[in-house]
Amino acid sequence: MAEHFDLDARPSGEQITKLQDRLQLVWQGAHSDWRDTDSYVNSNYDMWPAHFKGRPKLYTGKASSKLRAATDVLVPFSPKFHRPPPGKGEKHKADANTVENFLARVWTVAGGKEAEEPGKAMWHHLMRYGYAVSAGMFFDESYRRERPRTRGDEKPEEYEARMEIWQETRRNWCPFRYEAPHPASVLMNPFEAIPRVALVSKRMFAVELAEEVERAGKRNRQAYEGYAMKDDPYEVVNCIEFWSAYWRGLMLRSGAMLYVEPNRWGFQPYTHGFAGWGSSAAES
């Protein structure tokens, strides 16, 4: 009898790999179409038939220009936050304004952790592929640093300088993050409006991966599987992140689990949406 993937139960590396293979099969047609779209947007498509390969290629960049113009002009990516005053009077209005300003600042700082503004990136993907993925807000510890400790051969002024940097970083640390990853890097069930499971492909430096696994071990020792970093701390490591409302985990692309822990948030933070340009075909 085929094994049922129970979302309530702790997932294994084998189960996650099987689910990944199945979702890749579901999405392979769309991913192929996206690669064709990329070739036009990036101006590297095959302009001539095979027997004319020697001819020069002159690309206009029209596809990229139209996409960029549509994203810049038609897409609003700076949201407005509104908190109704909880009561009457100037104090309630002032309190509501404070909350609005706080949310606007958190949105700006949390999105600033990404190389590309997430709101704009999401709409760019929606227009480019007809599909977009967003993640968050979720709690983020990646920029958090422990209080510096004194070193045996360190001068007092050197320690004070490191302490000042830590205090400034701590003062401005934002514990939230949101992102708009490339749609091809996240696998979810396309037939679910609110996907129950998300598999996220990630590439991390080995030192970053070691820090992530260590933080998971501090949160929950039972979740910790361990990661042995090799000689090169900046080796790029391919990983798969698993998310459900019950569990979150991280494994190497090879299938070795690094950690699995209960999802204390109680929800799966990755969502998706289609542009609505078409409809399902009869044979689908």
d(CA 256, CA 268) in angstroms, rounded, equals 22
- 225 pLDDT band (50/70/90 cuts)? low
Identify the pLDDT of residue 53. 77
Residue 278 pLDDT exceeds 80: no
Residue 2: predicted pLDDT: 45
Convert the pLDDT of each residue in 123-155 to its tens digit.
899 999 999 999 988 888 777 777 888 888 888
Q: Does residue 114 carry a pLDDT above 70?
A: yes
Alpha carbon distance 23, 190 (integer Å): 9
Does residue 1 register a pLDDT over 60?
A: no
SS (H, E, C) the chain: CCCCCCCCCCCCHHHHHHHHHHHHHHHHHHHHHHHHHHHHHCCCCCCCCHHHCCCCCCCCCHHHHHHHHHHHHHCCCCCCCCCCCCCCCHHHHHHHHHHHHHHHHHHHHHHCCCCCCHHHHHHHHHHHHCEEEEEEEEECCCCCCCCCCCCCCCCHHHHHHHHHHHHHHHHCCCCEEEECCCHHHEECCCCCCCCCEEEEEEEEEHHHHHHHHHHHHHHCHHHECCCCCCCCCCCEEEEEEEEECCEEEEEECCCCEEEEEECCCCCCCEEEEECCCCCCCCCC
Average pLDDT of every residue of the chain:
86
pLDDT band at 222 (very low <50, low <70, confident <90, very high): low
Q: How sure is the predictor about 12, in pLDDT bands with cuts at 50, 70 and 90?
A: confident
Compute the average pLDDT of residues 97-102: 91
According to the model, what pLDDT value does residue 273 have?
92
Is 284's pLDDT higher than 90? Answer: no
**Greatest Cα-to-Cα distance within the chain, rounded to the nearest angstrom:** 78
Q: Average of pLDDT values for 30-57? A: 87
Per cent of the chain over pLDDT 70 is 92
pTM above the 0.85 mark? no
Q: What is the pLDDT of residue 281?
A: 67
